[in-house]
Amino acid sequence: MFDIKFAIVLKDDLPVWQKLNVTAFLTSGIVAQFPDIIGEPYRDRAGNIYNPLSIQPVIVLSADSQTLGTIHRRALERGVTTSLYVDEMFSTGHDVANRAVFAEFSPGDAKVVGIALRAEKKLVDKITRGARMHA
């Protein structure tokens, strides 16, 4: 149905609260990059209005640290802009601090705990190879 795929890959050994937190942050980055991914507002039978949601499914995968590093590298090599969350961001309390700690690392030494991307389906599949469906 979709030629474009939206995937999130999470570090497999994160506590559940961190997986949920990272997923939310990474999703917001993809929505900021592709605002057209958001559909129309929802309306229930009583006429109440609710926020619009994504028009396409989000695939959530998991991987170990080494595979996440490889996925990060592949995305950079292929020029795919991603949302990225590094371990040190858990110790900050706001966006400015997140960006400051993020800037301390390069792709080779970043402790990636989550990455999200949206691109052509075959390209996303190649980049995320080695990750598995999140259980």
Mean pLDDT by 10 residues, the chain (135 residues): 93 97 97 96 98 96 97 98 97 93 94 98 98 93
Domain ranges in the chain are: 4-133
pLDDT score recorded for residue 73: 97
Phi-psi region of 102 (alpha: psi -120 to 50; beta: other; left: phi over 0): alpha
On the 0-12 / 13-18 / 19+ scale of CB atoms within 10 A, 9 is buried
Q: Give pTM, 2 decimals.
A: 0.94
| Structure-token pair, residue 35 | 């605002």
pLDDT score recorded for residue 81: 98
Q: Using an 8 Å Cβ cutoff, are 18 and 62 in contact?
A: no
pLDDT score recorded for residue 113: 98
The superfamily CATH assigns to domain 4-133 is Bit1 (3.40.1490.10)
Q: Using an 8 Å Cβ cutoff, are 72 and 109 in contact?
A: no
pLDDT score recorded for residue 110: 93
CA 44 – CA 31 distance, rounded (Å): 24
